[in-house]
Amino acid sequence: MAEAAIAETPAAEAQAPLLAVNNIEVVYNDVILVLRGLSLEVPKGRIVALLGANGAGKSTTLKAISGLLKTEDGEITRGTVVYDGQVLNAMDPGAIVRRGVFQVMEGRRIIQDMTVHENLRLGAHTRPHDSQVARDIQMVYGYFPRLKERTGLAGYLSGGEQQMLAIGRALMARPRLILMDEPSMGLSPLLVREVFGIIRKLNEDLGITILLVEQNARMALEVASYGYIMESGKVVLDGTADDLRTNEDVKEFYLGGGGEQRKSFKNIKSFKRRKRWL
């Protein structure tokens, strides 16, 4: 059913998508089946959201694309990850970064005992270190003026600043596709808004395609043009962001219990999760 929906993706009919994940199956430690036949497409220049509950396999999907799966004893046992006409399955993470796919990992993962500047330089590891890098660092400071003022170790930055540094570090690699894993994690609502504003700006200014994994479905569907919803290793629903926002099931599961009719404790108690989607 997911395949049928993909054909309706607006950009799909015009050209091949920048990233196509075709029916992949991922196994950890040779036994634990995490993704079972997941497919999705990310058209060039778009922001696509990948939503789902904890443990649905969202992060695993991103790691399967970026090759980081191999660092965790995971393996793609079936299906292909095709980026820009190339199959990424067997490549190591370094080769994938060099091709322009960069994953901003969950929890920011900045190098805490280095300065902001050093972290940014690290982002450019796959490029030759020249004057271009210095210029790009200035560009990142342009997007995140707050980072420029921080001269101490990156570990002492606030959560929001660390997220900005993680995004800035990704920009240093000059990626064409950023895989962003939970940029809103642990941030205050105001900062979440700021970070999503930045994500939208990067997409508009630099034309970077973004695959966005989020718990905060409301915010994600605001910036994304298309969304996929995952459950236990599969895509169970997909559609344009507008369609998803108005979909009753999505409202119920991700945008907060059916809206206005929740008025008394009685209603909350009788509110029952639907176990099945279809």
Whether the Cβ atoms of residue 247 and residue 210 lie closer than 8 Å to each other: no
Tokens of 84: 């820009």
Min CB(62)–another protein separation in Å: 10
Q: Decide if residue 126 touches another protein (CB under 8 A).
A: yes
Beta pairing partners, 22: 80
Among 2, 5, 12, 114, binds another protein (CB under 8 A): 114
Does 112 bind another protein (CB under 8 A)? Our answer is yes
Q: How far is the CB of 179 from another protein (least distance, A)?
A: 10
Residue of 2, 11, 12, 111 interacting with another protein (CB under 8 A):
111
| 3 state DSSP class of 197 | helix
Which segment (19-27, 94-102, 140-148, 205-213) binds another protein by CB under 8 A? 94-102
Encode burial over 170-185: b for 16+ CB neighbours within 10 A, e otherwise.
bbbbbbbbbbbbbbbe
CB of 102 to another protein, least distance (A): 8
Q: Does 92 bind another protein (CB under 8 A)?
A: yes
At CA 209, angle to CA 207 and CA 211, rounded to 5?
A: 155
Residue type, 141: Y
Return the ∠ at Cα 37 (arms to 34 and 40), rounded to 5°: 105
Count of residues of this chain found to bind another protein when the rule CB under 8 A is applied: 32
Binder among 72, 201, 267, 268 for another protein (CB under 8 A): 72
Which residues have CB under 8 Å from 59's CB, separation 6+? 106, 181, 182, 213
Chain residues binding another protein by CB under 8 A are 66, 68, 71-72, 92-94, 96-98, 102-103, 105, 109-114, 118, 121-123, 125-126, 129, 153, 155-156, 158, 169, 173
